[in-house]
Structure 1
């Protein structure tokens, strides 16, 4: 049957970057796990958020990571130089939890803090 991975988290970006993030999601559309992506019904203030929440098969984890890496590489769109950033908790049934940090144009993966263990019990 295979192992499952619980993914929950978000990305923060500006309006121009949001369009690029949405294009990346569309390019990776699998008509199944893609449905885990969502955003607020209505935008408020200046930061745009994109959320992901789903339990996916371990075999689809590379599919998801490829999207996140592409999103992390979306360039800054204004003089502030702000890049896409975010945080995902990835709970693997067998290997435990990791924290995926999206910052500085990259995806950084580290062991999740013990404080988040309750999410995967």
Structure 2
């Protein structure tokens, strides 16, 4: 059956960046794990959010991380200089939970804080 990783989290961006995120997700569409993405049907107010949630095989984690790395590199689209940012928790069946921070144009991975341990139960 294989080893699975439960991944859940979100990205914060502006409307122009969301359009670029949609393109990246579409370019990586695998007609299976891609279904874990949740995007707003219509923008309201100023911050857009994109969500991902799913249990994926360990071998597919790089597929998602590649997308997130590409998304992280999306440039700021206005004078504020805000890049795409976000937070994901990845609960590995064997290795425990890690935190994926999307910020400053990169994906930073570190062990998750103990306060998130309840999610592994």
TM-score range, shorter chain: over 0.9
**Please, what TM-score do these two structures have when normalized by structure 2?**
0.97
TM-aligned CA deviation for residue 120 of structure 1 = 1.1
Question: 1:30 aligns to what SS in structure 2?
Answer: coil
TM-score of the aligned structures, taking structure 1 as reference length: 0.97
Farther-moved stretch of structure 1 (37-46 vs 88-97): 37-46
How far did residue 40 of structure 1 move? Answer: 3.3
Map Cα deviations across residues 9-61 of structure 1 (whole Å, 9 max, x no partner): 00000000000000000000000000000023443210000000000000100
Separation (CA, whole Å) in 1 of partners of 2:112 and 2:102:
14
SS at the partner of 1:29?
A: coil
Aligned residue pairs, count: 121
**Other-structure match for 1:79:** 79
Please tell me the root mean square deviation across aligned C-alpha atoms, in Å: 0.8
Tell me how far 1:2 sits from its aligned partner.
Answer: 1.1
Partner of 1:74: helix, strand, or coil? coil
Tell me, what secondary structure is at the counterpart of 2:11?
strand
Partner of 1:25: 25
User: CA offsets, 1:63-105, max 9 Å, x none?
Assistant: 0000000000000001100000000000000000000000000
| Structure 1: stretches of 5+ with no match in the other structure | none
1:45 aligns with 2:61: no
SS, match of residue 70 in structure 1: helix
Alignment of 1:1-121 (within 5 A): 1-121=1-121
Off by >6 Å, runs of 4+ in structure 1? none
Instruction: Point out where structure 2 has 5 or more consecutive residues left out of the alignment.
Output: none
Q: Secondary structure at the match of 1:83?
A: coil
